[in-house]
Structure 1
Amino acid sequence: MTTTSTKKAEVILGSDNYFHWEFAVRMTLARKGRLEDGDQEE
């Protein structure tokens, strides 16, 4: 998954830098939220 994500990120970064940045931020926040929620449940 990391390799595919990296390749997609490179393509998106070249096509639309802002979209890539916004997507990366949203994914980071989503991951942090999921990790925090999962950690609290356990």
Structure 2
Amino acid sequence: MSRSTIIIEMQARRKTQRSPSEPGSSILRGVEDWRKSTTVR
């Protein structure tokens, strides 16, 4: 479980680094929200 989340974070970070102003940042936010929802459950 942790491995999949780490991979997603790495991909999201790479996208944000290339274009922080582009929708890539929204993906990072979605990942954070998804992690919070999974941790709550």
TM range (shorter): 0.5 to 0.7
Identity over aligned pairs, percent: 6
1:34 aligns with 2:13: no
Report how many residues are paired. Answer: 33
> Could you tell me the TM-score, scaled by structure 2's length?
0.54
Gaps of 5+ in 1: 38-42
Give 4+ residue runs of structure 1 displaced > 6 Å after superposition. none
**Structure with the higher fraction of residues in helix conformation:** 1
Flag the structure with more relative contact order, 1 or 2, with Cα contacts below 8 A and sequence separation at least 6: 2
Measured against aligned partners, the alpha-carbon deviations of 1:1-42 in whole angstroms (never above 9, x if no partner) come to: 65881xx423x232x3222210000000000000000xxxxx
Gaps of 5+ in 2: none
C-alpha RMSD over aligned residues: 2.4
